[in-house]
Amino acid sequence: MMRSLRRMLPFTTVLTVSALALSGCFAASPSADDGSGRVRVAMLQPPRSGLTPLSDDAFKLSRWSTAETLVVLDDLGEAQPALATAWTRVDDTTWSIDLRPDVRFHDGAPLDAAAVVTALTAATTASPKPRILDGVDMTVEADGTDTVTVRTATVDPLIPQRLSSPQLAILSPDAYAGGGPVDPVGHGTGAFVLTAVDGTSTATLDRNDDYWGGPAKASGIDVSFVPDGTARAAALRNGTADIVEAVPVSQAALVDPALVHEVPMPRTNTLYLNNRTGAFADPSMRAAAREAVDADRLVDQVYEGRADVARGLLGPALPWTADRPARTTAPAGDPAGRRITLGTFTDRAELPEVAVLLQQELEARGFVVEQVVREYQFIEADALAGAFDAFILSRATVLDSGDPVAYMYSDFACAGSFTIAQFCDPAVDSALATASATEPGAARRAAVLEAERLILERDAVVPMLHERVVQGEAASVSGAARDPRERMLVTTDTTVG
């Protein structure tokens, strides 16, 4: 009851302000009933890197069906043709990839081997590289006009899956010209042409009538970036958005249940512990933090049952993880007043609430906790630099390749690019190398679970819960993708009205 009162007391004021602000965001967009066929989308996070595909912004381009990859993944994570029609493994480190004929970029340039080489070389030489290429030394060269050859320095059986990552989207050569940031505006191959981006506020896309896969049913997409979860939910209720990304669980109960769609997803809410400096450089303090976390309480009180308690890094979206090996637990020490900083971000509305409960649980264990909460774009650099003793992160675990090895390498390898845990362990590196080199199938899954076991036995992080997609769709919407991997949203089949 106290929790309900805490939410409801400020709700009417916040909702009024948020709804007014959001109506301004969508004011220029046509309504769902005016016959335009345009889809209005309210998205969680604004662009962080100018919509360059070499960053996480790539997933926006993918969800808008404007930038495409050589390969896509089916529901089982198996590679399927897209801009590539076929691929052949020539030897352990060489792949030959055939390109789809008669595809043109939005600026009129042809999709050919030279264009693919330009795009993929930009990714392999970027600093930092897209996380799907963490630990991968890859080169690409043209073999005629319609085939490219991909070579890796070491055996990598997942090259087709890696090429499905939105961060390896193929844009027109002009997108990479000039030596500046990659420019996606008007340079994709997809069903919708990105025509305008207004900073971190809006994006506009029009239908590509010459799309190689056939024209989309909708005439365009009008995107607004709305980090405030209450405002996104209000947009669904008041009809100013047709599709709403990531409806907060605290708001889902206030929306017509017919408009809310819930999908288990490979995303884990995790407490990352700074293994290098501060209190959690001590393994016994990491164990104490692990014992302090009450995940059942978090699922019940913050997520209102719309999540699953974590038994490991990987959750029920990957059913094979249920057969994980037993692991040992390290003994916990007594914090006895040890001071720690706990960071998280506001973009996902549940995380500040998780931080409040975690602070209570950690303090009950004996820690003295200071919270730091900001928007993600203002806190990521500090988190990656190890500025916090602990950091709460909602992390997708198979976002890029349909395989968790890339995520595990990125977050837990000594040479990883997303090491918020400041973690480095030779045994874990060895286990990840084994998993990476193992062919897809049962043996690879076993190797992944062995790496997970080692990471968790060292209490590098504390996995707390696995989230579910809560996506809002107006009653007039049909054909929107409900994608656990968060790669697809508006497709050629999406319509409004």
The whole-angstrom distance between residue 32's C-alpha and the CA centroid of its chain comes to: 28
Q: Answer whether residue 24 shows pLDDT above 50.
A: no
408/282 same-domain check: yes
Classify residue 434: in a domain, yes or no.
yes
307/411 same-domain check: yes
Distance (Å, whole) CA 68 – CA 66:
7
Q: What are phi and psi of 103, to 5 degrees?
A: -105, 135
88/60 same-domain check: no
Domain of 201: which CATH number? 3.40.190.10
Q: What are phi and psi of 21, to 5 degrees?
A: -65, -40
Beta strands in 12-127 (DSSP E): 38-43, 71-73, 79-81, 84-91, 94-99
pLDDT digits (tens, 9 = 90+) for 66-87: 999 999 998 777 899 999 999 9
319/419 same-domain check: yes
Classify residue 90: in a domain, yes or no.
yes
Classify residue 177: in a domain, yes or no.
no
> Last residue of some domain: 172, 196, 222?
172
Q: Answer whether residue 379 shows pLDDT above 80.
A: yes
Least confident of 28-42, 75-89, 94-108, 232-246: 28-42
258/309 same-domain check: no
Q: What is the pLDDT of residue 399?
A: 64
Asked whether the beta carbons of 289 and 369 are under 8 A apart, the reply is no
- pLDDT band of residue 495 (cuts 50, 70, 90) is very high
Domain of 407: which CATH number? 3.10.105.10
> Last residue of some domain: 113, 138, 172?
172
Classify residue 402: in a domain, yes or no.
yes
Classify residue 412: in a domain, yes or no.
yes
CA angle 482, 212, 95 (to 5 degrees): 85
Classify residue 191: in a domain, yes or no.
yes
Q: What is the pLDDT of residue 28?
A: 40
pLDDT digits (tens, 9 = 90+) for 112-153: 999 999 999 999 999 888 988 887 899 999 999 999 999 999
Say whether 45 sits in a helix, a strand or coil: coil
201/125 same-domain check: no
- pLDDT band of residue 36 (cuts 50, 70, 90) is low
Least confident of 10-14, 344-348, 400-404, 435-439: 10-14
H helices then E strands: how many in the chain? 14, 19
Asked whether the beta carbons of 217 and 191 are under 8 A apart, the reply is no
Domain of 99: which CATH number? 3.90.76.10
> Last residue of some domain: 142, 172, 202?
172
Q: Answer whether residue 201 shows pLDDT above 60.
A: yes
pLDDT digits (tens, 9 = 90+) for 179-189: 889 999 999 99
- Give the range of the structural domain holding residue 367, as residue numbers without chain letter: 264-468
268/250 same-domain check: no
Q: Which residues pair with 393 in a beta bridge?
A: 270
**Secondary element (H or E) of residue 465:** strand 461-473
Residue 230: count of CB within 10 angstroms of its CB: 21
Q: What is the pLDDT of residue 15?
A: 34
Q: Answer whether residue 4 shows pLDDT above 70.
A: no
Q: What are phi and psi of 344, to 5 degrees?
A: -165, -175
Q: Is the peptide bond before 248 cis (omega within 30 degrees of 0)?
A: no
Tokens of 449: 């679970």
What percent of the chain stands above pLDDT 90?
A: 76
The residue behind tokens 């809002």 is: 472
Domain count, the chain: 3
Taking CA atoms, 91 is separated from 95, 358, 387, in Å, by: 7, 50, 44
329/420 same-domain check: yes
241/329 same-domain check: no
Higher pLDDT, 273 or 400: 273
389/256 same-domain check: no
Q: Which residues pair with 368 in a beta bridge?
A: 339
Q: What is the pLDDT of residue 5?
A: 28
75/55 same-domain check: no
Q: Answer whether residue 361 shows pLDDT above 80.
A: yes
Classify residue 316: in a domain, yes or no.
yes
Higher pLDDT, 393 or 128: 393
The packing angle between helices 283-292 and 350-365, to 10°, is 120
Classify residue 423: in a domain, yes or no.
yes
Asked whether the beta carbons of 266 and 405 are under 8 A apart, the reply is no
357/216 same-domain check: no
Say whether 348 sits in a helix, a strand or coil: coil
pLDDT digits (tens, 9 = 90+) for 244-271: 999 988 899 899 999 999 888 899 999 9
